[in-house]
Amino acid sequence: MTVGIGVGLSRFPFAGAQGYWEWVQMCEESAVDSIWQTDRLVSAEPMLECLAAMAALAGATRRIRFGMNVASIALRDPLVTAKQCATIDFLSQGRLVPAFGLGSALGMDYKATGTNTRRRGKKADEALELVRRLWQEDSVDFDGEFFQYDKACISPKPYSAHLPLWIGGSSEVAMRRVARYGTGWIGGLDSPEQAGIMVRGIKSALLETGRQIDDDHYGASFSFRFGHAEEPVAQRAVKALQQRLGKDPGPFLVIGDAAAIVARIQGYIQAGCSKFVLLPIASDDRDVMIQTQRLIDEVLPAF
C-alpha cells in the first residue's frame, strides 16, 4: 500500500497570486504527492474556485497531481463538469484527481442561491453516473429524474483512459455511492475511527455492487500546525472548527510537533487510509511557506 501525502487549501491565505505560486512551486519541487483545493462557491472569506484552480495548476506545474476536496457535484452541471475535468486532465497529461461530494446542506452555497436540497443525493448520483459515462463512452443517452441526455459526447476524452473518480462523504449513503460509482474515497472531517468505519463499510458495499477499489485508494484529510495551541492562529482555527462541528475539534486537527502529525497519519493508516490531504493552519504567506516546508522536511521522510 503506497502512502501519498498531499497538501490542501481551504480559505486563500495569501496576500496575492505571487505568494500562491511560490507555494505551488515549493510543493512541485518537493516530495509532496498532490495539491488540493476545497470547494466553496459562496464565502465572505477568499476561496479559489476549485476547477479553475485545477486548470491553472495544470499549466503551472509538470510533476505534481492536483484535485478538488471535494467539488459539490449536486450544484454542478454534469456535462460542463465532465468537459472541464476531461480538458484539465488532457492538458496536464493525466495529473487531475477529480473528487466529488454533495456539499453540506447547511452550507451557504445552497442557502444563498435558494437551491433545493431535497433529493440532492439522487441528483448527485445521476450526475456522477453521467460524468463517468461521458469520460468513457462516445455517446450517452440518459433519462433520469434530474437530467435527460440524447447522444451527448465530449472530445477530447481525458488523458487517462480510466480517469479516477474519488468520492467524499461520511454516511452509509456515501458508502453505497462510492461502491457504485467511485474509484476511491476521500474523507473530510473524519477521525481515524470514523475513517475506519467508512473504509470497512465501503468494502462491504463493494461486495454487493461487484466492483473493486484498490486498497490504496482510501484517503483522509486533516488540518495541521507546527506550534502550540496557545498561538492566536491556532486558537482561531480551533474555535472555528468547534463552532462548525458543535463538539471537540481535537480528532480533526493536529497542533504540535512532527511526531504528533506522524502519529495521526499512522492512526489513519491503521484505519485503512493511505492517501492524505493535509491543510496547513497559517496566518499569512510566510507562515504558510514555513508550515509547508516543515511538513516536507520533518513529516514526509517518515513515509
Per-residue pLDDT of 259-280, as tens digits, reads: 999 999 999 999 999 999 999 9
φ, ψ for residue 148, nearest 5 deg = -130, 115
Q: Which residue has the cell 435527460?
A: 148
| Structural domains of the chain, count | 1
Determine how β-strand 218-226 pairs with β-strand 253-256.
Answer: parallel
pTM more than 0.85: yes
27 and 64 Cβ atoms separated by less than 8 Å: yes
pLDDT category of residue 106 using cuts at 50, 70 and 90: low
Percentage of the chain lying above the pLDDT 90 cut: 89
pLDDT digits (tens, 9 = 90+) for 144-155: 999 999 999 999
pLDDT category of residue 118 using cuts at 50, 70 and 90: confident
pLDDT digits (tens, 9 = 90+) for 153-163: 999 999 998 99
Range of the domain at 246: 4-302
- Can you tell me the distance from the alpha carbon of 225 to that of 42, in angstroms, rounded to the nearest whole number? 26
Flag whether pLDDT at 246 surpasses 90. no
120 and 102 Cβ atoms separated by less than 8 Å: yes
Domain with residue 145: its CATH number is: 3.20.20.30
pLDDT at 301: 97
Sequence letter at residue 63 = R
Residues of 104-119 as b/e, b for ≥16 C-beta within 10 angstroms? eeebebbeeeeeebee
Count other Cβ atoms within 10 Å, centred on residue 43.
15
* Range in 87-96, 112-121, 123-132, 233-242 with the lowest mean pLDDT: 112-121
pLDDT at 210: 97
Flag whether pLDDT at 244 surpasses 90. no
